[in-house]
Amino acid sequence: MIFQILFVLFFNLLFTNADITKIALDLSQASYCDNSVDWSCPTCAENNILYAIIEKGGERCLLGYNYDVNSIFVSFRGSSDIENWIDDIQIRKTCPYKYNKSICVEKGFYKVYENIKSDVFNELKELINHYDTKNILLTGHSLGAAISTLLAYDMVKKYDDYSVSLINFGSPRVGNSDFVYDFFKYKFYSKRVTHYYDIVPHLPQELLHFLHIPNEEWYNEDNSHYVSCEDSITNEDNDCSNSCGPLHCTSINDHLYYLNVSMGTDNC
């Protein structure tokens, strides 16, 4: 636990907020691209070395190493058809954690995660040994953001000697308040980036007892400024993205445009 706290402090001192976010954003978009195989996509930055690609059950995951932060990265792809995925988001919960049956997450997200997680952990073990680091950067956009959140939860609970950093973009709500509360008993670096009137951060709705994880950065329409939000493990900041939900934040265009990068399979 002490090692995790020291890593978070070091991570923040060594790199600016923009540096860290840019690394994660590039990786999130790269996961959409078929030409990430030869690392030739528009956001396939040279500071990343691709080690493995896992494709299973309609999900794609990139794993590799980033020199700038001496970190293994794991990036999950969002849906290849985002508009249909938004329409099909389930509102049912599953409570799969045997140690606490009050901890529940969205059933569709968990099904995708369960299908791919064993392969991800197998590749992670090889990467950690190869690069001799336990610094892990998890990221994703849209559905990929939800899957990265579920992986981060498993990692901070099971591997207290790993230094986990979670940075995601346009994430839906993943679990209930018990999920969020239990997650944030552990010290790790996290950031949830949202863009203006993006529809996805408002799904599934709060009235169905879903809650976002904390540490939101809410960007304005032209991505020129953001607000560091004051959400917590029990409440979302109503002066940030939640201020316009659920009726007014309905933009798919904002969901597909983060920090001046167009997201999705059409932008590869």
Q: Mean pLDDT, to the nearest integer, of 225-247? A: 92
CATH 2.60.120.560 fits 2-190, yes or no: no
Q: How confident is the model at residue 71 (pLDDT cuts 50, 70, 90)?
A: very high
Residue 143: band (very low, low, confident or very high) from pLDDT cuts 50, 70, 90: very high
Q: Where are the domains of the chain?
A: 2-190
Question: Residue 7 pLDDT > 80, yes or no?
Answer: no
> Is the confidence at residue 4, as pLDDT, over 50?
no
pLDDT beyond 50 at 1? no
Over range 226-248, report the average pLDDT: 92
pTM value is: 0.92
Tens digit of each residue's pLDDT (9 = 90 or more) over 103-130: 999 999 999 999 999 999 999 999 999 9
Helix runs in the chain, H state only: 2-14, 17-30, 82-88, 107-131, 143-158, 177-183, 252-255
Q: 3-state DSSP call for residue 18?
A: helix
- Coil vs helix vs strand at 257: strand
Long-range contacts of 86-94 (CB under 8 A, 24+ apart): 86/199, 86/200, 86/203, 86/252, 89/172, 89/203, 89/204, 90/204, 91/204, 91/205, 91/208, 93/175, 93/176
Q: Tell me if 165 sits within 8 A of 71, measured CB to CB.
A: yes
Mean pLDDT computed over 120-144: 95
Structure tokens at 31: 């996961």
DSSP 8-state symbol, 199 = S
The mean pLDDT of 13-21, rounded to a whole number, is 64
> What is the mean pLDDT of the segment spanning 71-75?
97
- State the pLDDT confidence band at 87, using cuts at 50, 70 and 90: confident
Residue 16 confidence (pLDDT): 56
Q: Which residue bears the tokens 């700038």?
A: 68
What is the predicted pLDDT for the residue at 14?
46
pLDDT of 151-198, one tens digit each?
999 999 888 888 999 999 999 999 999 999 999 988 789 999 999 999
pLDDT category, 33, cuts 50, 70, 90? Answer: very high
